[in-house]
Structure 1
Amino acid sequence: MLNPYHQLTTRGKLRRLRGLAEDALRQFGVTAVRLKLISTDTNLIYRVWSDDDRQFALRVANPAWRGAETAVSEAMWLDALAQDTDIPVPKMMRTPVGDAVVFPQAAGVPIDRHAVLMSWQPGVLLGKRLAVQNITKMGELFAKLHQHGASWQPPDEFTTKKFDNFLSRGEPNVLFAEGSLANYDAQTESLLRQMSEVVAQTYADLDPADLRVIHCDLWHDNIKIHKGKLYPFDFEDTIWGYRLHDMAMALLDLYEDVGDSEAYATLLAAFRTGYETLLPWPDGEMELLMFGRLLWKTNWIACFWPEGLAKTAVFHANLYDHYRKIGELLPPKMPR
């Protein structure tokens, strides 16, 4: 008899969850000769080598992170991008009956996960190649996606969710819940409340005509570079949103990674140069949307790692305090 899933160690759970990956591949009609788990951060991501010399990325989703409806929308946009553009997006695989999303089962694991299979993107992560010329190409890639996201008419089954505030996926807002407030001093609480109000107003002031389908998580390590060409992936967060929001999320991650204001300014200028070869830069104060992302991170920590909330809240509040006084966004990576 199998031990209950909740009693297993992390390693034991991963061993058992591998059965879901194997069942998903069976449903897609793929025979794996090698299956390597490469990420457990949110979902389980496997690199798959098949018996006919193809490679795939298999995502077995964590239902607490994203639901199956997001994967359906992801598949719809990837299909359209592959048909309408020259952007080398992953190819979504289908089951023999045409399904892009499957619901694998395995003995002794909860039956609440879905899975998708897509072609493996070649190259190395762009984060290992943060040169000016490559970030210029990243700006061009964003513009191409934004052009398509504005013109494409999604099927009726596509998501109706819209990213129009710092929490836009139904997450609980616990920033100012009683348990969270116990971690803030008066100044930190005041600054967090100001941030929330300013971010909400920034979203409200964006031009409704700018709303379109966006990737919403196209940071530099969701892009590979191969022979000088960029290969985006991980379209799981596909949603209706604004260009400025899409760029703010990616550029905040870029700033965190480079960790230096001068280096970031150089890369930001390169990104903008690439973007403006195809589209005008959108109106709005992008840094305030970055603070929206920092609020999201603070809220996430309040939900899942409350022991780290006090330090995180103070750091993000101080970043905002400096920005509102000086107009300068300091490096946003929290020191260890």
Structure 2
Amino acid sequence: MSSFDELSDVERIERFERLARKVLATYGLEEAELRYLGQSSNVMFRVQTDEGRWALRICDPGRDHQILRRELLWLVALCRDTDIVVPEPVIMRSGDLFRSVSMPGLPGFRACMLFRWVKGQFEEEPTVGQLEAMGVLAAKLHKHAETFCFPDELEPVRVSPETVGDNIPAALLRTHYAQHDAQSILDTIPLIQQTMLSLGPGPDVCGVIHGDLHHRNVPFHEGVARAIDFECVQWNLYAYDIATTFSYFSGRSDFEALKTAYVAGYSAIRPLPCSFDEHIPPLDMLRSFALIALILRTPRLRTDEWASGVLESAVRKANRLLEAR
């Protein structure tokens, strides 16, 4: 364990605050008020002055800069081309969208970036009306994605039927799951592939997506759904975003009403890119693969309560999918 990992929470936060001050100087905001918001894969601070409020993200060392550039370029394009409210990247005095920064007492170089603050309230139990607003939001994102292209050098790897399951080697899966549970998860791969093949690769069904578009990343302001946390930007089926949204609502008694409202909101902007009942369950399982891979490759997450719930629910989802085939 490194000496940094042995520090108390207070000491670690103090070091991150010093790094934040160093970064904010590149924006002319070194005197701003700072509030620590927490740490997951990033350290986040709220930055405030009399002129405005921003969110500062300090990434963990080793973050892929190409992935960060894709995220930031799409956000810039969304702010320029649409009325969707998303975190707008702030350009540094140097003209850069982000910069890798180091500091004595903190291991590694960390990519840092500043975003304009997105106003809104999060709802742990969104209403039917809010699901309709989430449908509108997703459809607007997907409509923009129909014509959006990254520069050739930033073109992302496309999630395709051939890549399903590549992120979780069977041997790694079996280090956590009982043999029969691991096999159930692996047995869903052909069903996911079949779903993806049936939807096809056209721009009406595939493109750049948010990748993590659930209600905890969607603040509501005056009845309008907004989106934050674009770190999982990827090229995938638009229906994957829809599956992500509904992966949190399967146990709700008003699920059908939520679905109807969401579809109505989405369809007001563009046609639904899938058959909800046929295609969403397999794509929900595809999302489970991504989450399982993240958890099993991140030792500190394996004992987390959220992670344990994800790993357990993946088995239930796999069994339901296999029973319904």
2:108 is aligned to 111
- The code of the aligned residue for 1:56 comes to W
Quick check: 1:27–1:102 contact (8 Å CA) kept in 2? no
User: Any gaps of 5 or more consecutive residues in structure 1?
Assistant: 328-336
Secondary structure of the structure 2 residue equivalent to 1:124: coil
User: Any gaps of 5 or more consecutive residues in structure 2?
Assistant: none
The CA deviation at 1:310 is: 9.2
CA distance in 1, matches of 2:24, 2:64: 20
- The code of the aligned residue for 2:246 comes to L
Q: Give the TM-score normalised by structure 2.
A: 0.85
The CA deviation at 1:315 is: 4.6
CA distance in 2, matches of 1:29, 1:207: 48
Quick check: 1:19–1:105 contact (8 Å CA) kept in 2? no
Task: Please identify runs of 4+ aligned residues in structure 1 that moved more than 4 A.
Answer: 165-168, 305-315
Q: Give the TM-score normalised by structure 1.
A: 0.83
2:221 is aligned to 226
Taking the TM superposition and a 5 Å limit, the aligned residue runs for 1:114-153 are 114-125=111-122, 127-128=123-124, 130-153=126-149
RMSD of aligned Cα (Å): 2.9
Quick check: 1:43–1:62 contact (8 Å CA) kept in 2? yes
CA distance in 1, matches of 2:309, 2:73: 41
The CA deviation at 1:263 is: 2.0
2:258 is aligned to 267
Equivalences, count: 315
CA distance in 2, matches of 1:207, 1:172: 22
Secondary structure of the structure 1 residue equivalent to 2:231: coil
The CA deviation at 1:142 is: 0.8
Quick check: 2:37–2:46 contact (8 Å CA) kept in 1? yes
Quick check: 1:191–1:317 contact (8 Å CA) kept in 2? yes
Post-superposition CA distance 1:172-227 (Å, at most 9, x none): 524x21x6425544432331220233223433443111321111112112121122
Post-superposition CA distance 1:124-167 (Å, at most 9, x none): 11x25612112101101111110111112333343422233697
Quick check: 2:288–2:310 contact (8 Å CA) kept in 1? no
Quick check: 2:72–2:89 contact (8 Å CA) kept in 1? yes
Query: Equivalent pairs: percent with the same residue?
Result: 25
Taking the TM superposition and a 5 Å limit, the aligned residue runs for 1:1-336 are 4-50=3-49, 52-63=50-61, 66-125=63-122, 127-128=123-124, 130-164=126-160, 173-174=168-169, 176-177=170-171, 180-181=173-174, 183-209=176-202, 210-253=205-248, 255=249, 259-260=251-252, 262-283=253-274, 285-303=279-297, 304=299, 315-326=313-324
Q: Residues 118 and 189 (structure 1 numbering): CA distance in 2 closer, same or farther, change over 3 Å?
A: closer
Quick check: 1:217–1:235 contact (8 Å CA) kept in 2? yes
